[in-house]
Structure 1
């Protein structure tokens, strides 16, 4: 414009109207960027959810183990008290006699439990006075071997 005596110092552009293909391309670029970000966020949320599930499962298993350990300790404490009380109240009995009697009682309780539920499968267990003694010997031998192996 200087050829005509005009000098343009500054121009204010109010409304730019690019070609429709340029608009479409820019919109697609923006949409792709947003889609990538949404996918990242969704994957991060799923990862966090899986980690929290695993932590909850581990905590649940730990607490279940603690509960079982406490239950078994209570059973052992109860048996110890029963053996001591029975041995003192019935002259001539030894703690082994009392434990043998408890083992037989538990054996019959187990047999009763197996037979009382209709949904149980058939279980064949040797039964008779000698079978109870065999179970007693097997449990005792297993405990002794486990004890010897831990030293």
Structure 2
């Protein structure tokens, strides 16, 4: 507390309040500006108090419910109540130590009832409890608590390392789960695609064979009607021989084929034609019985 006085005048700065005494007894509060007093009558300016907001940082070390030692960094913003500046001037010799003592008392009574996770989640509740207690106590001494911020919660270094490892393991586990789900979906989609491709391939083969059968039937009928005396068996043999030679020609023109041994006599072609004819007759007979 400063003393800005002269013989008959005293100047009180802006954002300050002066305490005037007469013969050592509190007389009145002096507003900012120039004040006149009479030292011969025992009047003098006992001191000045700043009404600006001040900040006090308090570091508290305590233990949580799950036996973890932590340091809490608390920032208290307070100011002198202008109307009660005389209480702040005369009642407390060191307001910072008084505030710090009450913060220690409240925090060390509240935090040991919380786990470390609860402390991180409810640090606002801790700040609120400290604010309520300080407002109740410091208000009687002419001080107003403006804000209380729980700036930081610092666990022991080994605890921080363990927490980071747990967090990393959980994230890795979650990533593996997502990766497994993605691979599962990929395999399912791949299997569905293969099944669809095989189904469509089967449909294509069936349609191809149906088209071949219809084409052969049409060719046989057209040939039988065009050439008199030609039987269906003779027409089928002719078509089989034609396809046989087309196949040999395709094998010869392809540069990627290796040596292939195939039967090439007319008797073999007749055997193939007999097999195809029997298959067509059996299919027609089964269709007739089914209808």
What is the Cα deviation at residue 17 of structure 1?
1.7
More helix by share: 1
Higher relative contact order (CA 8 A, sep 6+): 2
Checking the alignment, whether the CA contact within 8 Å between 2:237 and 2:269 is kept in structure 1 is no
1:42-81 Cα offsets, whole Å, 9 max, x none, are: 1101110111011011101111111111111111111111
Instruction: Go from structure 1 to structure 2 and tell me whether the alpha carbon gap of 1:93 and 1:114 turns closer, same or farther (over 3 Å shift).
Output: same
Match for residue 267 of structure 2?
Answer: 130
- Structure 2: segments with no counterpart, 5+ residues: 1-101, 110-128, 132-148, 287-291
Q: Which residue among 63, 67, 71 is the counterpart of 2:204?
A: 67
**Larger C-alpha radius of gyration, 1 or 2?**
2
What is the Cα deviation at residue 125 of structure 1?
2.5
Match for residue 222 of structure 2?
Answer: 85
What is the Cα deviation at residue 134 of structure 1?
4.1
Q: Which residue among 37, 42, 45 is the counterpart of 2:182?
A: 45
Match for residue 124 of structure 2?
Answer: none
Q: Paired residues, what number?
A: 142
Aligned-CA RMSD value: 2.7
- Structure 1: segments with no counterpart, 5+ residues: 1-5
Cα distance in 1 between the residues matched to 2:203 and 2:262: 32
Match for residue 161 of structure 2?
Answer: 24
Deviates more, 1:127-136 or 1:60-69: 127-136
Instruction: Go from structure 1 to structure 2 and tell me whether the alpha carbon gap of 1:118 and 1:64 turns closer, same or farther (over 3 Å shift).
Output: same
Match for residue 11 of structure 1?
Answer: 130
More strand by share: 2
Q: Which residue among 104, 117, 122 is the counterpart of 2:241?
A: 104
> SS in structure 2 opposite 1:16?
strand
Cα distance in 1 between the residues matched to 2:213 and 2:275: 19
Cα distance in 1 between the residues matched to 2:263 and 2:176: 62
> SS in structure 1 opposite 2:155?
coil
Cα distance in 1 between the residues matched to 2:269 and 2:204: 30
TM-score (norm. length: structure 2):
0.44
